[in-house]
Amino acid sequence: MRQIFLAFLLITSVSIYGQSYNFNISVTDSLREISPYIYGTNQSGEDVNNTFFRIGGNRLTGYNWENNASHAGIDYNNSSDNYLPWVMGIESESNVPASVMISHHENSLSQGANSLITLQMAGYVAKDKNGTVAEGQTAPSSRWNQAVSVKGSDFSLNPDLTDNYVYMDELVNNLVNEFGYAGSETGIFAYCLDNEPALWPSTHPRLHPAQATCNEVVNNGIELSMAVKDVDAGAKIFGPVFYGFSAYYNLQDAPDWQTVSNKKDYDWFIDYYLEKMKKAETDHGKRLLDVLDLHWYPEAKGDSRISDNTSNSANDVAARLQAPRSLWDNNYTENSWIGQYFSDYLPLLPKVKQSIDKYYPDTKIAITEFTYGGEDNISGAIATADVLGIFGKYDVYTASFWAGNENSSYIYEGYKIFRNYDGNKSVYGNLYVPSVTSDSVNSSVYSSISSLDNKFHIITINKSSETATANFNINQSSQIFDGKVWCLDGTQSSIRQLPDVVNITDNSFSYHLPALSICHFIFKNDVPFDVELSKPENFEIEVNSYPNPFNNSLKIEYSIPSKDFEKIEIFDISGKTVKTYLNPAKSGVIEWDGKDNNGNLTASGVYNVAFFANKKIIASSKIMLLK
């Protein structure tokens, strides 16, 4: 009966509209959580309901947290000045240590969002706010303070402004003192290892005139990451903050790339970086890279490069609407120098994931700067919404849009279709549901379930300039009903509500999608979804055990943000509890000497470390005892 009904929908829709898409959606037994951090930005958009704010960009490479001076590089006359406090509206706090970072995170907290803070790794930061730095004052000179990862002595909340040094671990300590540890409700969740090191000689010729080397980026990153985690063990580390494909490939033809890659099977610099950071974990007994941090400004072209502010010709728009496919689609080759000469590296996300699986498993992926252009028209909103759907589908951990236009209103509307479609901060679901379209050239479809309110969400994208008929088929045992629809298209610059879905039969229905549109469908379910999350929503649980396997003793480093966190237990392979730690701190390190609760040595074998909150296991980790 369902097949006959769908065939009828297809026949009748084609007779009315030229475009027709079939969307098939299947609710599986095991649903993966969509990372809440993919809905981030680098600048604030009105009513976007962000989950994540990054403070980064060229200004941050030369930022001095002690006095809040920063260096513009080529963005503005190689000037060192008070720009950051000025642009943030906190000039009265210019001399308060780290006030730029504090203000940024306070803004994140006020919006219920998390923060990613940029740390300095290029060797020097602005010492003063005296304007243009002349070529003869290139670092090292009296215009710069040296940026050092580890202070090596007691921290101060009032740093010494006369010693010509700025310490990164002291900054992290200052922020921990202000907001608590990363695992707390107000702590800073992550830090990134500077910004776009492959471009330092071109963006900051007075600060770092020499081209960054592979060893410099790796070794400085390891040292800075160690410094952060020695102060705040639960903080995530993002690196190396690549600006684009040439940095991914060979770190902008770094001087030592041929040497470090000689007789190796690396496909690109990403492989080398991941391998070295994996070795650093082994050497130091802790993970020093949590998230591989990439920037992605598409090189795809219509008449011009689509990410340029003025690229809005018909050919530019057509290329922009297809460009997100370079993230995932093997059947698409973009018109770009990457597509022409480096097509083996596209689609991007599967290629990056392949490198992670080979060289450093469990590393997460972040795209902390991106724009697809068209920020003031519907094509930019469609591309951005498509990308947000792709990030959820392909398990990207963190993402943040970078505004390239003074008017980015359409982009923020594209965010709101996920995060505030009705003006009441109602959001897309948190559990990913597989979905496919019959026409990936002209359409996209993304689906999710909300575990909190028992709603089923579908987001559709019609890339065609014609109205299209969409035929939906949802495979699940329970029935959906009460379909509401919200839409953004080119007819107006804000989201509007469309007529409800009617005539749902066996979870199948048809609906007409406006031309060049993003539609968000929301359904109720006739019975609650049988879904239980394995960890508290919107928190990341951090567990590292080392050395593993172990002989005499094992350290378990953890950060458990749940307010109901109550105990840690170690089980043997049969499920028997051998060791219990009651009322532990929410983050820290415990050491197990291989003895049970009675002080007896346990046998060699595999054990599970389990973390309990509200009488349920919310995280676990396998360990192995060898004697």
Q: Note the pLDDT of residue 134.
A: 98
Q: Note the pLDDT of residue 626.
A: 80
Q: How far is CA 9 from the centre of its chain?
A: 39
444 and 396 fall within a common domain: no
Stretch among 128-137, 218-227, 336-345, 448-457 having the lowest mean pLDDT: 448-457
115 and 187 fall within a common domain: yes
Q: Mean pLDDT of all residues in the chain? A: 91
Q: Which domain holds residue 487?
A: 2-32+429-525
Residues 6 or more apart from 202 whose CB is under 8 A from it? Answer: 74
545 pLDDT higher than 60 = yes
Stretch among 254-258, 415-419, 558-562, 579-583 having the lowest mean pLDDT: 558-562
Local confidence band at 349 (pLDDT 50, 70, 90 cut-offs): very high
Single residue among 396, 419, 442 that ends a domain in this structure: 419
User: Using CB atoms within 10 A of its CB, is residue 153 exposed (0-12), middle (13-18) or buried (19+)?
Assistant: exposed
6 pLDDT higher than 60 = no
362 lies in some domain: yes
User: What is the DSSP annotation of 127-177?
Assistant: ----EEPPGGGPSSSTTEEEEES---S---SS--TTSSEEEHHHHHHHHHH
DSSP assignment letter at 66: T
Amino acid at 80: S
Contact 55, 115 (CB under 8 A): yes
Token pair of 611, please?
A: 């973390």
Q: Note the pLDDT of residue 543.
A: 67
> What does DSSP say about strands 455-462 and 443-450: parallel, antiparallel, or unpaired?
antiparallel
CATH of the domain at 15: 2.60.40.1180
Q: Note the pLDDT of residue 369.
A: 98
How far apart CA 213 and CA 200 sit, in angstroms, is 11
Q: Note the pLDDT of residue 517.
A: 98
25 and 40 fall within a common domain: no
- Candidate list 196, 216, 299, 334, residue with the active-site label: 196
534 lies in some domain: no
Local confidence band at 7 (pLDDT 50, 70, 90 cut-offs): very low
Contact 55, 44 (CB under 8 A): no
SS3 assignment for 466-528:
CCEEEEEEEECCCCEEEEEEEEEECCCCCCEEEEEECCCECCEEEEEECCCEEEEEEEEECCC
User: If you search the block for the tokens 């600048």, which residue do you land on?
Assistant: 43
19 lies in some domain: yes
Peptide bond into 347 cis (omega under 30): yes
User: If you search the block for the tokens 């040595």, which residue do you land on?
Assistant: 601
User: What is the DSSP annotation of 241-310?
Assistant: EE-SHHHHHHTTT-TTHHHHHTT---SSHHHHHHHHHHHHHHHHTS----EEEEEE----BSSSBTTSTT
Among this protein's residues, is 135 annotated catalytic?
no
| Half-sphere CA count of 440, side-chain side, radius 13 A | 14
Among residues 609, 618, 562, which one has the least CA distance to residue 590? 609
346 and 483 fall within a common domain: no
140 and 232 fall within a common domain: yes
Single residue among 359, 389, 419 that ends a domain in this structure: 419
Local confidence band at 574 (pLDDT 50, 70, 90 cut-offs): low
13 pLDDT higher than 70 = no
511 and 559 fall within a common domain: no
How far apart CA 474 and CA 184 sit, in angstroms, is 40
Sheet holding 587-592, edge to edge: 542-546, 554-559, 587-592
Single residue among 364, 399, 419 that ends a domain in this structure: 419
160 and 309 fall within a common domain: yes
315 and 436 fall within a common domain: no
Q: Note the pLDDT of residue 538.
A: 39
Residue 413 vs residue 3, higher pLDDT: 413
326 three-class SS? helix
What total number of domains does the chain contain? 3
Contact 607, 594 (CB under 8 A): no
10 Å Cβ neighbour count for 135? 9
> What does DSSP say about strands 364-370 and 190-193: parallel, antiparallel, or unpaired?
unpaired
250 and 307 fall within a common domain: yes
537 lies in some domain: no
Amino acid at 613: A
520 pLDDT higher than 70 = yes
532 lies in some domain: no
Among residues 361, 367, 290, 269, which one has the least CA distance to residue 326? 367
411 and 434 fall within a common domain: no
618 and 480 fall within a common domain: no
533 lies in some domain: no
How far apart CA 398 and CA 238 sit, in angstroms, is 10
398 and 508 fall within a common domain: no
Average pLDDT (470-481) is 91
Local confidence band at 183 (pLDDT 50, 70, 90 cut-offs): confident
The residue ranges of DSSP E strands in 35-84, in sequence order, are 40-41, 52-55, 70-71, 79-81
CATH of the domain at 275: 3.20.20.80
Average pLDDT (339-354) is 97
CATH of the domain at 567: 2.60.40.4070
Residue 438 vs residue 545, higher pLDDT: 438
424 lies in some domain: no
Q: pTM for the complete prediction?
A: 0.83
64-to-61, 147, 149, 365 alpha-carbon distances in Å: 9, 8, 13, 28
Q: Note the pLDDT of residue 605.
A: 83
537 pLDDT higher than 80 = no
Stretch among 359-368, 512-521, 538-547 having the lowest mean pLDDT: 538-547
User: What is the DSSP annotation of 198-244?
Assistant: GGHHHH-TTT--SPPPHHHHHHHHHHHHHHHHHH-TT-EEEEEEE-S
254 pLDDT higher than 50 = yes
pLDDT tens track for 21-56: 999 998 876 688 999 999 999 998 778 999 999 999
12 pLDDT higher than 60 = no
Average pLDDT (479-500) is 94
103 lies in some domain: yes
Bridge partners of 453, per DSSP, are none
